[in-house]
Homo-oligomer: A and B are copies of this chain.
Amino acid sequence: MAEAPNHDEVLARFDELSVLEAEFDDAELEIIRKSNALNAPLYKKRAEIIAKIPHFWALAFEQAPPEIDNFLQPSDSQVFAEALESLDVTRFEIDDPKGSPRSVSITFGFKDNKFFEDKVLEKKFWYRKSKDWEGLVSEPVKIHWKKGNDLTGGLTDAAVALAQARKKLAKTNSAKSAETELPEYKALAEKLEMSTEASLSFFAWFGFVSSYRWITAEESEEASKADAERLEKLKQGEKVEDEEDDEDEQDFQETEVFPSGDEIATLIADDLFPSAIKYFKHAHETEDDELSEIDVEDGDDDDDESDEEIDIRGLVGKGRKADHSPPAKKQRKA
């Protein structure tokens, strides 16, 4: 800083930083690809071992850091303890030049349970761009709840209904504002107004759409193209006008059933899933030898209805008699 920079010089630095940011972004995508290639065979091996360990994923979820654990209601933990058999995370667009290595699919495998008919619940998140936002968007996943056991009180059904109506609307009508006139919109907005976030089931996450708004593949492709053109101009040292903000007047969060759904997807994909062995082992360390006995006893509950009695907190030793030492402090990776 030998000489004082003037206003134009400082602004030019901003453009240089923008060009550099795009290069950092490319490096990050390459790291995701490399990491995926290195870890995929290890995750496969892990899935084979885990399949032989009862309650592995329920225990891993229970011992995950509070950022994840906080989203689980006791009834959600009960479903996980009784029925969650597998968890898988894949980067389904990693080899797709039109897609993104940041797009991620999270798949839960369940055994027969009293809550829903589904054996598999897969939630896909696409990494997409609009003019003034980028991030993960998803489509609501239909859960076939058993009568009287819908943990979300109809939220996932209403979210699926609105998503379908929204798609139909997009085909027949180009007027954006019309979405708020849909009966499915009103139904979901009213349902959300009635429900309290404090007791929101984790399963409402399957109804998540976006922390911004739904973005189609086409819109995202256009935005990416515009981005690339803007970047090219910056590299050539051309002036680039800031895009106008034509902000949407619709409040999309009025019908978002799980406002931090993208955040929890990232937490599962980047923390819980990669570090699952650590969390699972930690569940065992907190209760020493005693616990493995319990696990073994629970191991044979596949073929009868005794499942329904399992309490995940009992499995990991939480909420037991007071003469036990408190669970050790949860640890993060350095």
User: Chain A: residues with CB nearer than 8 A to chain B?
Assistant: 1, 4-7, 9-11, 13-14, 16-17, 20-21, 23-24, 27, 30-31, 34-35, 38-39, 42, 45-46, 49, 51-54, 85, 102, 127, 134-136, 262-263, 266, 274, 277-278, 280-281, 284, 292-293, 295-296, 299-300, 302, 332, 334
Contacts and interface: CB of A to CB of B under 8 A. Distances in A.
Say how many copies of this protein the assembly contains. 2
A49 B277 contact: no
Given A34-B34, A302-B1, A7 B292 contact: yes
Contact of A135 (B17, B52, B300, B334): B334
Contact of A21 (B127, B277, B295, B302): B277
Given A16-B49, A30-B38, A334-B102, A296 B24 contact: no
B4 A302 contact: yes
Nearest to A303: B4
Contact of A27 (B6, B42, B51): B42
Contacts of A292: 7, 10-11
Nearest to A17: B277
A315 to B, nearest CB: 13
Nearest to A104: B334
Contacts of A51: 1
Closest CB pairs A-B (n = 10): A4-B300, A27-B38, A4-B299, A135-B334, A7-B296, A5-B299, A16-B49, A17-B277, A13-B53, A31-B35
B296 A52 contact: no
A263 B334 CA distance: 7
Given A7-B292, A23-B45, A24-B39, 17 more contacts: A1-B85, A1-B302, A4-B296, A4-B300, A4-B302, A7-B296, A13-B49, A14-B284, A17-B49, A21-B278, A27-B42, A31-B31, A31-B34, A31-B38, A102-B334, A262-B334, A263-B332
